[in-house]
Structure 1
Amino acid sequence: MVQQKIMNEPTSILVVDDEEGIRNYLKTLLKLKGYDVNTVASGNEAIEYFTTNPPPGLVLLDILMPDIDGLETLKRLRKAEKELPIIMLSCIGETRTIVEAMRSGATDYLNKPFEEAELEIAILKALDRKKLVEENKLLRAQNEQLTEGYRFVASNPKMLRIKDLIAQIANTDVTVFIQGESGVGKEIVAREIHQGSPRRDKPFVKVNCAALPSELLESELFGYERGAFTGAFRLKQGKFELANFGTLFLDEIGDMAPALQAKLLHVLQDNEYSRLGGKKNVMVDVRILAATNHNLEEAMKEGGFREDLYYRLNVVNISIPPLRERKEEIPLLCDHFLRKHNRKYNSDMAAINPKVLECIVQYDWPGNIRELENVVKRLVILGKEELIIDELTTKMETRRKAEKALPQNQFSESVSDDSSGLSLKHMSKNLTSTAEKEVILKALKQTQWNRKQAAMMLNVSYKTLLNKIRKLDIK
């Protein structure tokens, strides 16, 4: 028999039945399964219970009772608690009674006498359904809150072209592939597409494909059936189901394992899949937006990414330029983040000091918009303008020193004269792997092997530098 997983706070169940023997039997049985159980003997007592106690997690409600019957009690309880799972119990097996109960809002219906396993399965299914409803509500609330904090800022010509492209494609269901360095605003673009689409009132679900191991990512995306593996006590909806009729944003898709890529391809082709441990296909209607900071064309050549999946995803391509290439947008972004964090932290900072703003604009922002927002957030919380100036000035000075220490004769032609800083990605197109290795080694030595500082010095993300160190076998 399936065992109920006992949580720190057990689910409370209210048993409503006029027969004392039934009440005592159900109370004993359900307590053994880890539930917190209360009992009442009539419909009136059940209604009274709801006026003096917090609502239970589930109700077992008998139909035949002397004062007000179970159907009338059901209707009254349903008015007060629209999402509460209520399972009807009765020795009456008439179709008419069952239909009326279900129409009145019953979650399920069991005929007396019933098997223990039958009751337990009905309770677990009802609680699963309640949990899924609550998760969907929470997801929608989080989406509304997150969307309020995002704003697509565009004044740079490249960004204005992206804005025009978003307006063209938002109203369609085409798959969009978003590329750009870490922190450039790929999620902001994805949310802008979702908000401009007919799906705007449906869920926007984000999955970071790099944040979980392959096995966990599979269950996160596709869900699992109860009993699919040890610890799978209840059915779990995957992100595809939670995003049904809405948008699923697959961030860092370049980190997805090949086996999972094959399953994702199947969903894109057929709009269906099966949960882990399941035999039945789940149909979904989801728009896919994918993003990466990797070069997936290179990954395809090396066998790390499926070519067929790449072309399925890359129907429309949006490449977001790094913040250092659109510095004219920095004051607008600062203003947006200032207002956002003023609201969040109940601050009244009217504007950023011009001296601080000048330093912010001069900085190269290897962490892009994400790094910029963090700086503005610190400014709002701490209010220490000189600290921000010192921090950015030190970072710029460190980079200038590193640039002088690096072998200029090998890469000077690879970096344009108007480059505001070292760009490893730009250099990699022209340098041999030997020269690239030397550049990275110099940066690491200059920073006493502090890889985070070296990444900033080379204008790449920390993760990209780690990948380069591994690939070039730098020790």
Structure 2
Amino acid sequence: MSASPNVLVVDDEPGMLRYMKTVLELDSYKVSTAHCGEDAIQSVRDGAAPDLVLLDLVMPGIDGLQTLEQLRRLRPDLKVVMLSCVSDPSKVVRAIQLGAHNYLTKPFQKSDLDQIMQQSLRTAASTEPLGEVEELGDDLFFLAASPVMQKIRAQVKTIANVDVPVLMLGESGTGKEIVARLIHKSSARSHRTFLKVNCAALPTELLESELFGYEVGAFTGATRSKPGKFEQCDKGTILLDEIGEMSPNLQAKLLHVLQDQEFSRLGGRSSVKVNVRILAATNIDVQQAIASKQLREDLYYRLNAFTIKIPPLRDRKDEIPTLLRHFMTRFAESYARSPLSFSPALLEECQRYSWPGNLRELSNFVKRYLILGDEAWAIHELRSGTSSKEASSATQSAAGGLKNIVRNLKDEAESQAIARALEQTGWNRKEAAVMLNISYKALLYKIRQYNIGAPAARPAAFRAKLGM
């Protein structure tokens, strides 16, 4: 980037062109202008190479969206910021889909223009450093450690303040909830409530009362009225996870909320008005679900105002070393342990492995490696696909609930850590308790809880899992 970036301003209002040219030249930008989309396109076609285009959305002739589309066709890397006095979310969304870098609503303050200019003209390295962590609360974080995740973060930052539904697509464990939380945190609703509802975790009747609430007498046991998640989320954001698992009847009621932001509680006669931003996520094949009537087509198009596709971890393996180190640092701090390093051999196996469970599986792998502290075991687990089998087993047992899955994973890792500590101390239980940083009584209790016996008495499968 040169010391004085070249900026092309495209607007059909002469007064706006003069104003923009004056204020930008005072800030040492080199400014050229065009009074219509056709002139801007011809300028770029003739060899002009602006670093940034400030493009009005509403113009006679070809409008801003058509101009944007043609400019991006001529220069796919061209950064374009849309200017508009029309606050039409659908047009803003369309501009982002066509590749607009950002947008600015007229009338705007000079400080707003300055901020947009600075954000847009920074190099990729300075704007979105690889590996930059954004904390989201509840021990969740967004880590843009690859170009594709940088692009998703840029999309999120742009779409966050456009109050439209967003649909997140991706395999289980790719981080759809994390993207949803990033949207909420980056939006004007960030100081309001964010709630996640897992549509696959509850039967239809319970899910309906959970979402919409109920009145006294709505069903047996309804002795008092209760607001639903939509009411609790008023002026905030709700994430409907696994939206494809919602029943068709409930999908119809949700469609009404999307259209009118209005619904009735179960057993209620009056309507409840809310102001909620709806985000949805699913790992199903959407087109197949529509064809099989599992997902209503009209609901899909309502949710599909903007779609973010999150790729699986196997398609962004350049992230793996950064993610491994970051998870290790977090877990070491949580468990008050010294972080372990990843040798070149272990990193190579991690890069080679396909991670069918995506970020969730990677996170659990790092947790087990930290607790067991055995690199040979970790490499063996990756080569044998044990990690994948555990991820598959966890998925298959989802009917037992998320808490049950997490508890099983924790128990398995804990029992392995205790067994290994006992082996390393020659079954000196006091030394093992010190090594594990728990009391002697707690260790005895857990030995009984997990039925951990002497080495010869233990099943061969258990000994094999420990590498014995």
TM superposition score normalised by structure 2: 0.53
Please say if residues 225 and 236 of structure 1, whose CA atoms lie closer than 8 Å, have aligned partners that are also in contact: yes
Which residue of 388, 392, 395 maps to 2:378?
Answer: 388
* Structure 1 residue 203, shift from structure 2 partner: 1.1
Please say if residues 235 and 275 of structure 2, whose CA atoms lie closer than 8 Å, have aligned partners that are also in contact: yes
AA of the residue aligned to 1:191: R
AA of the residue aligned to 2:223: F
2:232 matched to which residue of 1?
A: 242
Which residue of 201, 204, 207 maps to 2:197?
Answer: 207
Which residue of 282, 285, 293 maps to 1:303?
Answer: 293
Cα deviation 1:263-290 (Å, max 9, x = unaligned): 0001111111111111121111111110
AA of the residue aligned to 1:366: P
AA of the residue aligned to 1:254: G
AA of the residue aligned to 1:229: F
2:263 and 2:150 map into 1 onto residues whose CA distance is 38
* Structure 1 residue 366, shift from structure 2 partner: 0.4
Corresponding residue SS for 2:191: coil
* Structure 1 residue 388, shift from structure 2 partner: 1.6
Q: Does 1:344 align with 2:327?
A: no
User: Which residues in structure 2 correspond to 1:12-411 (within 5 Å)?
Assistant: 147=137, 149-349=139-339, 351-395=341-385
Q: State how many pairs are aligned.
A: 265
Please say if residues 175 and 313 of structure 1, whose CA atoms lie closer than 8 Å, have aligned partners that are also in contact: yes
1:267 and 1:177 map into 2 onto residues whose CA distance is 16
Please say if residues 171 and 196 of structure 1, whose CA atoms lie closer than 8 Å, have aligned partners that are also in contact: yes
Who wins on radius of gyration, i.e. which is larger?
1
Cα deviation 1:317-345 (Å, max 9, x = unaligned): 11111100100001111122112212222
AA of the residue aligned to 1:197: S
1:454 and 1:207 map into 2 onto residues whose CA distance is 22
Corresponding residue SS for 2:253: helix
2:263 and 2:194 map into 1 onto residues whose CA distance is 20
Corresponding residue SS for 2:377: helix
Please say if residues 243 and 286 of structure 1, whose CA atoms lie closer than 8 Å, have aligned partners that are also in contact: yes
AA of the residue aligned to 2:197: V
AA of the residue aligned to 2:289: A
AA of the residue aligned to 2:198: N
1:278 and 1:377 map into 2 onto residues whose CA distance is 47
Q: 1:455 to 1:229 in 2, by over 3 A?
A: closer
Unpaired runs of 5+ residues, structure 2, are 1-133, 399-468
Please say if residues 149 and 340 of structure 1, whose CA atoms lie closer than 8 Å, have aligned partners that are also in contact: no
Q: 1:385 to 1:294 in 2, by over 3 A?
A: same
* Structure 1 residue 356, shift from structure 2 partner: 2.5
Q: 1:463 to 1:380 in 2, by over 3 A?
A: closer
Please say if residues 252 and 293 of structure 1, whose CA atoms lie closer than 8 Å, have aligned partners that are also in contact: yes
Q: 1:204 to 1:454 in 2, by over 3 A?
A: closer
1:363 and 1:156 map into 2 onto residues whose CA distance is 18
Unpaired runs of 5+ residues, structure 1, are 1-143, 400-451, 465-475
Cα deviation 1:69-116 (Å, max 9, x = unaligned): xxxxxxxxxxxxxxxxxxxxxxxxxxxxxxxxxxxxxxxxxxxxxxxx
* Structure 1 residue 232, shift from structure 2 partner: 1.4
Percent identity, aligned pairs only, is 55
Q: 1:175 to 1:151 in 2, by over 3 A?
A: same
Q: 1:378 to 1:454 in 2, by over 3 A?
A: closer
TM superposition score normalised by structure 1: 0.52
Corresponding residue SS for 1:151: strand
* Structure 1 residue 378, shift from structure 2 partner: 1.4
* Structure 1 residue 455, shift from structure 2 partner: 6.2
AA of the residue aligned to 1:286: V
Corresponding residue SS for 1:361: helix
RMSD of the alignment, in Å?
Answer: 2.6
Runs (4+) of structure 1 exceeding 4 A deviation are 452-456, 461-464
Please say if residues 213 and 229 of structure 2, whose CA atoms lie closer than 8 Å, have aligned partners that are also in contact: yes
* Structure 1 residue 146, shift from structure 2 partner: 6.4
2:376 and 2:217 map into 1 onto residues whose CA distance is 58
Q: 1:337 to 1:454 in 2, by over 3 A?
A: closer
* Structure 1 residue 226, shift from structure 2 partner: 2.2
Cα deviation 1:47-71 (Å, max 9, x = unaligned): xxxxxxxxxxxxxxxxxxxxxxxxx
AA of the residue aligned to 2:338: D
1:223 and 1:268 map into 2 onto residues whose CA distance is 17
1:365 and 1:334 map into 2 onto residues whose CA distance is 13
* Structure 1 residue 254, shift from structure 2 partner: 0.5
Q: 1:323 to 1:351 in 2, by over 3 A?
A: same
Cα deviation 1:177-200 (Å, max 9, x = unaligned): 000111111111111111111111
